[in-house]
Structure 1
Amino acid sequence: MNSLPKVLESKAIIRFQDCDPFNHLNNSSYLNYFMNHREDMLIEVYDIDIYKMARKEGKSWVVGTSQIAYLKPAFLMEKVTMQSQLLHYTDSELYVEMRMYNEDKSQLKAILWSSFVHFNLLKQQREIHTEDFMNLFSAIQNPVDTLNFEDRMKSIKQAAVKL
């Protein structure tokens, strides 16, 4: 069996309707780009379609928290590289980091930490992950050296200064 990638990567082009009057990606639009990337990659790489799950099983994940840092602007029609990885998980929650870079990944534009709660839409309550999901999460978990978002940002900024 091939090992599954721990870091998911895709490309996107910044579109006109997502930009502000200065041709920068609007702050709220970053979330859409991050979530679209993650949803597409979950289907493509891990064969997890959260919308099909919601329709068939009445279960999926909902955003619990989000922390985002805007480091450099993304511009209209710019091609960006998106990455995401599972930092940590519990029996009912996932903690994911997502990053947006310029196309060649030489400049980090934004970083997002989100928690996702496994949720039973029919019962309107938190759901426990199945054993299959727990095994998958164990195989793909890719933690970073910091435990909180603020320390992660300090670490990234210190690394950028050294370059």
Structure 2
Amino acid sequence: MKIDLKNLVKVPESKLFVRFQDCDVLGHLNNVRYFDYFLNTREEHTRHYYALNLMELSKKYRATWVVTNHQIAYLRPADLGENIIIQTQLIHFDKNSIVIEASMYNEARTHLKSLLWSTMRYVSVETARSTEHSEEVLDMLAAVQVTEVEHRPEGFQDRLIEINQAFKRSLPTP
């Protein structure tokens, strides 16, 4: 498992279109569908940007990541027919877990719509118990981790404030 460090994109992003079948009666993306958008986008990012197939990794190492915790903030609705931008990044890992941050923006990137932290435990497919990452997997995680984002389990609200303050600083002064 070799990742091209020279051309590595640590914070990949995708543009998505909010579809009718994913919306509630108000024409907003249904709260449950945010998870689908975020997790599917991260899977696409790992395939495209890191050339990693999660099923192949699972077979090779006889282990896979399973979600143990989600922290999500719904800040602004994603509306039917709207183009949105989703960015994903690995913000933390240790011997047997990872934390992925996914953020959703409007197409102009002037508003954060939602932020998700997903904590995932590395689990043996044979025993269904937590297991440690191999050295090769740890090396891969170290290569893609974004170290500029401080991860503390209790720091989710602080991260929301940090992103929103960055938006305010980037707005033109009246």
For normalisation by structure 2, the TM-score amounts to 0.85
- In structure 2, do the counterparts of structure 1 residues 127 and 77 end up closer, same or farther at CA, with 3 Å as the change threshold? same
For residues 92 and 27 of structure 2, the distance between their equivalents in structure 1, rounded to whole angstroms, comes to 35
- Cα RMSD between the aligned structures? 1.8
Structure 2: gaps (5+ residues): none
- Name 2:165's counterpart in structure 1: 158
Q: Provide the C-alpha distance between the structure 1 equivalents of 2:21 and 2:57, rounded to a whole number of angstroms.
A: 30
Stretches (4+) displaced over 4 A: none
Corresponding residue number in structure 2 for 1:119: 123
Residue 91 in structure 1 maps to residue 90 in structure 2: no
Whole-Å separation in 1 of the counterparts to 2:168 and 2:9: 29
* Deviation larger for 15-24 or 103-112: 103-112
- 2:86 pairs with 1:79: no
Distance (whole Å) between structure 1 residues aligned to residue 129 and residue 81 of structure 2 = 41
Unaligned runs of 5+ in 1: none
- Partners of 1:55 and 1:141 lie apart in 2 by 23
Deviations 1:103-158 (A, max 9, x none): 23222110101111111122111121121211111122113146310111222333
Larger strand fraction of residues: 1
Deviation larger for 67-76 or 139-148: 139-148
- The SS at the match of 2:12 is strand
Instruction: Give the structure-1-normalised TM-score.
Output: 0.91
For the 8 Å contact 1:50–1:61, the answer to whether it is kept is no
Shift of 1:27: 0.8
| Deviation (angstroms), 1:13 | 0.9
Q: Judging changes above 3 Å, is the alpha-carbon distance between structure 1 residues 116 and 52 closer, same or farther for their aligned structure 2 residues?
A: same
- What number of residue pairs does the alignment pair up? 163
Name the amino acid aligned to 2:161.
K
The Cα offsets for residues 37-86 of structure 1, whole Å up to 9 and x where unpaired, read as: 00111111112222333456542111111100111110112111110111
1:17 to 15, 18, 21: 21
